Amino acid sequence: MRFSLGKWLLPLYTALALILLLIPIAYTFIFSFNDYFKTNIGWQGFTFHNWTNVCDAQGLCSAFGNSLIIGVTSTLAATALGTALALALARYKFRGRGIVSLLIFIPMATPEVVLGAGLAAQFFTLNVEKGMGTVILAHTLFCLSFVVVTVKARVSSLDPALEEAGRDLYASPAQVFWRITFPLLIPGILSAALLSFALSFDDFIITYFNSGSMQTFPTFIYISASRGVPAEANVIASTVFILTLAVVVTSQVITRARAKALKN
């Protein structure tokens, strides 16, 4: 039974809420074509110039490059460390698992500003110079817990019969892991890596505390916000948006097609 009231009210409400959610995206996209002078506020005319000369905005492309390097490096590290933790938590008995779970959960419940200030205080005490290295260390930390949660859900939902079948056929534990468990985990690990890259790429607060003079894409926007963000930044954000959307839609279509193929 569905609410009779909900027949048209609920879809309408959801549509309105979704439009509200999407307004800033449309705004960012539209203003990437703005023929702006000095500040990208108010519509001044349509141009492709920002799209064809993205790197004209000083410091933008190097900041974007830094974001990519940091995103890839910290994703690789967080995915490796996090997958190992997830496997241990989902598959093994050991003393102190409550404490381990708590230690993985608390970073997600800690406000970013506290994580950022804590890491910065530590780097300051140890006299480590802030830069790309410290940002990578920081990003790996906050991505780690999200990787554990994502991969652990996948490990827990694996059908144990598949691994049992492997053992029954005299596969060694290592063979069972690498030929059965690991391939089945790949979708979970990939989505954890994607999430981790997205978190790293868009992070501002923790980055700003630990980046020193090095700029990432978000810190570039923050610093230029007071005098006006160049439209070229909108170009980069729009491109990233379209690419991410394409990846997500493609992966959805593939999963759907696979599920259908399995059914038939």
Partner 1 sequence: MALAGFANTSSRRTSAPMRRSRVAILLLLPGLAYLGLFFLAPLVSLVITSFEAPNPESFDIGSYVYSFQWQNYVAGVAEYWPIFLRSFVFAIIATVAALIIGYPIAYFIGVFLRGRASLQAFTLILVVAPFFISFLLRTLAWKQILGDDGWLVTTLKSLSIMPADGHITGTAFSVIFGLTYNFIPFMVLPIYASLERLDLRYLEASSDLYARPTTTFLKVTLPLSMPGVVSGTLLTFIPASGDYINASDDFLGGPSTQMVGNQIQANFLKLLDYPMAAVLSVVLMVIIMGVVTFYVRRSGTEDLV
| Whole-number Å distance between alpha carbons of 166 and 191 | 26
Q: Which of residues 57-116 bind partner 1 (CB under 8 A)?
A: 80-82, 84-85, 87-88, 90-94, 100-107, 109-115
Considering Cα of 120, then 123, then 128, then 132, what sign does the dihedral take? negative
Q: What separation in angstroms does the CA of 93 have from each of 100, 102, 166?
A: 12, 16, 22
Q: In the set 76, 132, 158, 171, which binds partner 1 (CB under 8 A)?
A: 158
Give the residue with the Cβ less far from partner 1, 54 or 144: 144
Per CB under 8 A, does 231 bind partner 1? Answer: no
- ∠ at Cα 73 (71, 79), nearest 5°? 90
Considering the complex, what minimum distance in angstroms separates the CB of residue 49 from partner 1?
Answer: 19
Given 68, 76, 153, 171, the residue binding partner 1 (CB under 8 A): 153
CB 151 within 8 Å of CB 188: yes
Task: Give the interface size with partner 1 as a residue count (CB under 8 A).
Answer: 102
Q: With binding defined as CB under 8 A, does residue 165 bind partner 1?
A: no
Residue 221, Ramachandran bin (φ over 0: left; ψ between -120 and 50: alpha; else beta): alpha
Q: Yes or no: say if 210 and 134 are a contact pair by the CB < 8 Å rule.
A: yes
The least CB distance from residue 47 to partner 1, in Å, is: 18
Binding mask 21-40 for partner 1 (x = CB under 8 A): xxxxx-xx--x---------
Q: How far is the CB of 254 from partner 1 (least distance, A)?
A: 12
Q: Smaller CB distance to partner 1: residue 28 or 62? A: 28
143 in Cβ contact with 233 (< 8 Å) = no
Q: Least separation, in Å, of the C-beta of 153 and partner 1?
A: 4
Tokens encoding 210 = 């630990």
